[in-house]
Amino acid sequence: MVAKQTQSSCESALYNYIMNGPQYVKDVTLTNGQVMSVTSDELLAKVKEFLGYAQEVLYYGPETETLVKEILSDVHRTADNPVKLERKYVTMRKVTEPAVYVAPYDSRQFNYIQFSNRGEAFDKSEAGNIELFNAYFGGGMNTVVFQEMREARALAYHASAYLSTPATLKDEYSFYAEIGSQNDKLVQAVEAFDEIINDMPVSEAGFDIAKSNIESTLRTQRSVGARALNSYLSARDLGLTEPLAKTVFESLGSLDINSLVATQQKWVKDRTYVYGILGDPADLDMDFLKTLGPVTNLTLEDIFGY
């Protein structure tokens, strides 16, 4: 119950609901009755089952491959015929029609989310364009969203937007944006946000900062320890033999402000969204929300699944 009393937890639950859909929430959440009915014997049995499944062991360190295999053969016991697990992937909601979901939270501040997934599969050639767009547009203090929504217009306590790249070949590109502001600024904030998303302000200075920041980060970052292993797994999940960051770095030199504008036009402008609003319905302009799409009022039980 503590999670339902925290605004950030409620916002995360609402985002999960609108991104993946209500059935996903039900599939991955135990009801109160299910939690109470689980026994310690059942939980211990699940742990014991672990070694019966096929496993993959990754190692990063100074020892040779031969020595690591010898050590594993002595200490890492598995079943004689381990069961191979089938990897399952979460399927995000495809957004073809607008919809608005309102979840209640007693506060003078609302949290607003918009999510869009058109079903596009991973394309390695777009990596540099999308990384540059995000650095210019979406999250940091020098980005368009922060400067326009918070600094120039004082319409949000926080604001961000992000064009998400697939994590696996089964995943898809999606666009996510969110703002937090006072209840009486709902209409102004949402309309202003829509304006800068669809008609992105263009600044040579902002572009240069974004590009420079990416180059600096990529030149200095090093993948060691667990990060090296995670980098390998991430690349493999996308069917790559090298980190995607290498592709980004190699493409930056050819990208200019026209590339940035073309990326916004192709990937962001005029998308269809599912909207989520966390706040006090009695203090929000519900008539305005109806102009965004059909409105569904949710409960906290709906978005948390319990």
Compute the average pLDDT of residues 176-191. 96
CB atoms under 10 Å from CB of 230, counted, come to 12
Question: What domains lie within the chain, and their CATH numbers?
Answer: 3-28+92-304 (3.30.830.10)
Compute the average pLDDT of residues 85-106. 94
Distance of CA 149 to the CA centre of its chain: 21
Could you give the count of Cα atoms lying within 13 Å of 70 in the half-sphere of its Cβ?
5
Look up the pTM and report it. Answer: 0.91
Q: In what order do the strands lie in the sheet with 99-104?
A: 158-164, 174-182, 109-116, 274-279, 99-104, 295-297
Residue 182, beta-bridge partner list: 109
CA neighbor of 131 nearest in space, from 12, 243, 15: 243
pLDDT at 141: 82
55, 84 Cβ separation under 8 angstroms = no
CA neighbor of 4 nearest in space, from 304, 282, 217: 304
- Ranking 76-80, 148-152, 228-232, 249-253 by mean pLDDT, the lowest is 76-80
Confidence of residue 126 (pLDDT cuts 50, 70, 90): very high
pLDDT digits (tens, 9 = 90+) for 24-63: 999 999 988 899 999 999 999 998 888 899 989 999 999 9
**DSSP-derived 3-state class of residue 110:** strand
Distance CA 221, CA 303 (A): 38
Confidence of residue 2 (pLDDT cuts 50, 70, 90): confident
Q: Which backbone phi and psi does 284 adopt, to 5 degrees?
A: -110, 155
Confidence of residue 9 (pLDDT cuts 50, 70, 90): very high
51, 19 Cβ separation under 8 angstroms = no
Q: What is the DSSP letter of 4?
A: G
Distance of CA 136 to the CA centre of its chain: 18
pLDDT at 31: 86
Confidence of residue 79 (pLDDT cuts 50, 70, 90): confident
Distance CA 101, CA 278 (A): 9
Distance CA 101, CA 10 (A): 13
pLDDT at 48: 87
136, 145 Cβ separation under 8 angstroms = no
pLDDT at 189: 96
Mean pLDDT of the chain, nearest integer = 94
Distance CA 5, CA 150 (A): 26
Q: Which tokens hold the place of 45?
A: 């049995």
Compute the average pLDDT of residues 61-70. 94
CA neighbor of 116 nearest in space, from 39, 59, 177: 177
- Rg (the chain; Cα; Å): 23
Distance CA 25, CA 18 (A): 10
pLDDT at 111: 97
